[in-house]
Amino acid sequence: MTTLKLNNINKYYGEGSSRVHVLKNVNFTAKKGELNLVLGPSGSGKSTFLTIAGGLQTPSTGDVELEGKAVKSMSNKQRDAMRLNNIGFILQAYNLIPYLTVKEQFQLVNKVKKNNNLDESTFNKLLEKLGISDLINKYPGELSGGQNQRVAIARALYTQPDIVLADEPTAALDSERVAEVGKIFQTLAREQDTAVIVVTHDLRLIEFADNIYQIMDGQMTLNNEMKTA
Amino acid sequence: MFLSLKEIKKEKFRYGLIIGMIVLICYLIFILTSLAMGLAQENTDAIESWNAKSVVLDKDSNISLTQSLISKNEVKNTKLTSKEAYIGQASVVAKDAGKTKESAQFIGLDTNQFIAKKLKLTSGHNIKNDKQIVVDEKFQNDGYKLGSKIKFNSNDTKYTIVGFVKNAKLNVAPVVYGSLTTWKDLKNVKGDFVASAIVSKSSNYKAKNSQLKTYSTTTFINKLPGYSAQNSTFTFMIAFLMVISLIVIAVFLYILTIQKIQNYAVLRAQGIPAKTLVSATISQSVTLVISGLIIGIALTAVTAMALPAAVPMSFNVPILSAVSIGLVFTGLLGSLIPIKIILKVDPVSVIGG
Ligand SMILES: Nc1ncnc2c1ncn2[C@@H]1O[C@H](COP(=O)(O)OP(=O)(O)O)[C@@H](O)[C@H]1O
Ligand SMILES: [Mg+2]
């Protein structure tokens, strides 16, 4: 089932002579149960693509459909609700609130989304797998970059979203952790029937992906041959 | 509440400073207001203790007790009931060898009329003859005792203090209650004058003489020398202080909110409703202002206890409450100004490429 669809997306930043064309006619579909990897170098438009896909910003032209509903036609409130209930965002930077401990980051979610979050034992297993069980009472400022990133992953998965959008989630992780995170995303797609979209320049994630896209200067192409290469 | 309290808990120093600033501002406003009120009250304490509604003065006295004299002739057709009393005012310097001189307001009374009968003595007894006086507690604080003998101005006659009264102040000077006979001596007026004024507990009392005019107590008080000028000076001073303090607090809370924008952007990206963020901001501002207020009030109370009795301070609860509500209200306002920014915060702006 198609959960996320981008039709003919163009995105420009700036105006006049300083206008840059960041996304060029991007078409993209993500289905439940699949892990999609979008590979591209820095500055190629990955973050722009992901934030448009998640309804955080609007494309200059083209439409985004989430769960069959045009994002354009949603009210701000509906978009908030969609992000809270259906999407798990892992942003490239600043995912955690500096004055909340790891535990409190999740308590905050409980306060605004009361149902259908991970049950305690599944949650604890996830923390275990991510290797952050011991960090539960620490503040983000006391964690390393990689630990922060893993907490952010747990935070995004906590709400049991239908779609997970991750921006360079492995940037600060060593190979062992990359494999863990890759497996977590893969399991998430296959067992929880989640649509997972990961944008990255980390080739170590290729082996976990179902579909591989490449983005170059704002142009996106499906390139599943990379899996076997 | 969750977000706001957690943030205060984590950033204790920063929020401590802000609460400290609010405490100082509240303290400043409370102390100055209470001092101004205290001074204002020392102008009118005695008058208010009489519970009078109106004052009859010579119509050419410019509503000044000092300038007013009522002659026997003017009151020959006027009847005083149990609600009226004569008062004879004279400004005096009271002294007793070895003690501080006191500038005081002498008020001559008729012992059969209501003011003399209703004096609330804290010690001693009422005046029984022309050589006895009842004085304000200020004399007691300055070392005078029951039985102390006092001379007025350059006269040689000695008067004995037989009682003390609380809050007997007129025009910021302590009051000396004595007889109308003594008043005539002090004022140096001949026997055909009876008093300076008639004070009545009824608001529509009229003397039957065209030379006498009835004024309401309010009018009379506002015409006390320096009273209105003093009060408007204080009112303006405190109003400016309030407005400026409120702006300072509002600006601080505004800056505080602006600093949260990045965190709010992340939360917005995660779909945390704007409502949650707005209520976190508001509840935090209110928490800060109320904490500051409570500490400020406590500090004011401690100061009031520590200050010597000679410093007039009056805690007018309704006015101080209004000030407090004003502070909470500005706190709210200060945090509400950037609400538009919170509502419009763009998650993408902080995400980075
Ligand atoms: N808000 C913006 N205003 C102007 N240019 C931007 C903005 N955000 C991104 N860009 C530009 O768009 C291009 C793509 O950025 P981004 O999507 O962040 O790439 P990536 O995540 O692949 O590194 C870059 O050249 C970047 O400088
Ligand atoms: Mg990026």
The string of pLDDT tens digits covering residues B34-73 is 889 888 889 999 999 999 999 999 999 999 999 999 999 9
Write down the residue that tokens 């920063």 correspond to: B14
Chain B: residue nearest A92 by CA?
Answer: B351
What per-residue confidence (pLDDT) applies to A91? Answer: 86
Residues having CB closer than 6 A to ligand 1 are: A 13-14, 20, 22, 40, 42-48; B 353
- pTM of this prediction? 0.79
| CA proximity to A169, closest of A204, A210, A120, A216 | A204
CB < 8 Å to A97, chain B: 3, 263, 266-267
DSSP A206: G
| Residue B28 touches chain A, beta carbons under 8 Å | no
Inspect the interface and report whether the beta carbons of B6 and A81 lie closer than 8 Å.
Answer: no
Mutation pick for ligand 1 pocket among A11, A12, A21, A22 (CB with most ligand atoms within 8 Å):
A22
Position B98 scores a pLDDT of 82
Q: How far apart are the first and last CA of chain A?
A: 28
Instruction: Give distance in angstroms: CA of A45 to centre of ligand 1.
Output: 6
Mean pLDDT value of segment B233-254: 88
Q: Which of A56, A111, A139 sits opposite B269 (nearest CB)?
A: A56
Chain B: give the shortest CA distance to residue A48, in Å.
Answer: 8
Looking at ligand 1, which residue's alpha carbon is closest to its atom 14? A45
B143: left (phi > 0), else alpha (psi -120 to 50), else beta? left
What is the Å distance from ligand 2's center to A42 Cα?
A: 7
CA of B343: which chain A residue's CA is closest?
Answer: A76
Give whichever of A55-59, A135-139, B250-254, B299-303 has the largest mean pLDDT. A135-139
Determine whether the interchain pair A80/B263 forms a contact, defined as Cβ–Cβ distance below 8 Å.
no
- Residue B353 has a pLDDT of 45
How far is it, in rounded angstroms, from Cα B267 to Cα B274? 9
pLDDT, tens digit (0-9, with 9 covering 90-100), for A161-189: 999 999 999 988 899 999 989 999 999 99
State how far the Cα of A47 lies from the Cα of A53, in Å rounded to an integer: 10
Average pLDDT over residues A198-202: 95
Mean residue pLDDT of chain B comes to: 90
Residues 262-291 of B with CB under 8 A from A: 262-263, 265-274, 276
Tens of pLDDT, residue by residue over A17-46, are 999 999 999 999 999 999 999 999 999 999
Q: Are strands B193-195 and B173-179 parallel, antiparallel or unpaired?
A: unpaired
Q: Which helix (H) or strand (E) holds A186?
A: helix A175-192
Q: Please judge whether A84 and B348 are an interchain contact, meaning their C-beta atoms are less than 8 angstroms apart.
A: no
Cα nearest neighbour of B12 on chain A: A99
pLDDT digits (tens, 9 = 90+) for B286-344: 999 999 999 999 999 899 888 877 788 888 888 889 888 988 888 888 778 878 888 88
Q: Which atom of ligand 1 is least distant from the CA of A45?
A: 17
Share of chain B above pLDDT 70, in %: 99
Please give the ipTM for the structure prediction: 0.86
Q: How far is the CA of A151 from the centre of ligand 2 (A)?
A: 19
Relative to the alpha carbon of A40, which ligand is closest? 1
Judged by a CB distance cut-off of 8 A, whether residue B322 touches chain A is no
Least CA distance to A89: which residue of chain B? B270
Interface test with A, best of B3, B343, B351 (most A CBs within 10 A): B351
> How does residue A229 score in pLDDT terms, banded at 50, 70 and 90?
low
Q: Map out the domains of chain B as residue ranges.
A: 2-43+228-352, 69-195
Which domains are assigned to chain A? 32-58+74-228 (3.40.50.300)
Instruction: Tell me, letter by letter, the H, E, C secondary structure of chain B.
Output: CHHHHHHHHHCHHHHHHHHHHHHHHHHHHHHHHHHHHHHHHHHHHHHHHHCCCEEEEECCCCCCCCCCCEECHHHCCCCCCCCEEEEEEEEEEEECCCCCCEEEEEEEECCCCHHHHHCCEEEECCCCCCCEEEEEHHHHHCCCCCCCEEEECCCCCEEEEEEEECCCEECCEEEEEEEHHHHHHHHCCCCCEEECEEEECCCCCCCCCCCEEEEEHHHHHHCCCCHHHHHHHHHHHHHHHHHHHHHHHHHHHHHHHHCCHHHHHHHHHCCCCHHHHHHHHHHHHHHHHHHHHHHHHHHHHHHHHHCCCCCCCCCCHHHHHHHHHHHHHHHHHHHHCCHHHHHHCCHHHHHCC
CB contact under 8 A, A82 and B268: no
Is the Cβ–Cβ distance between B311 and B38 less than 8 Å? yes
When scoring A75, A89, A91 by the number of chain B Cβ atoms within 10 A, the one with the most, hence best to mutate, is A91
Ligand 2: centre distance to CA A92 (Å): 6
Mean predicted lDDT score pLDDT of chain A: 92
For ligand 1, mutation pick of A10, A12, A19, A20 (most atoms within 8 Å of CB): A20
Pairs of residues, one from chain A and one from chain B, whose beta carbons lie less than 8 Å apart: 84
Number of the ligand 1 atom closest to the C-alpha atom of A167: 21
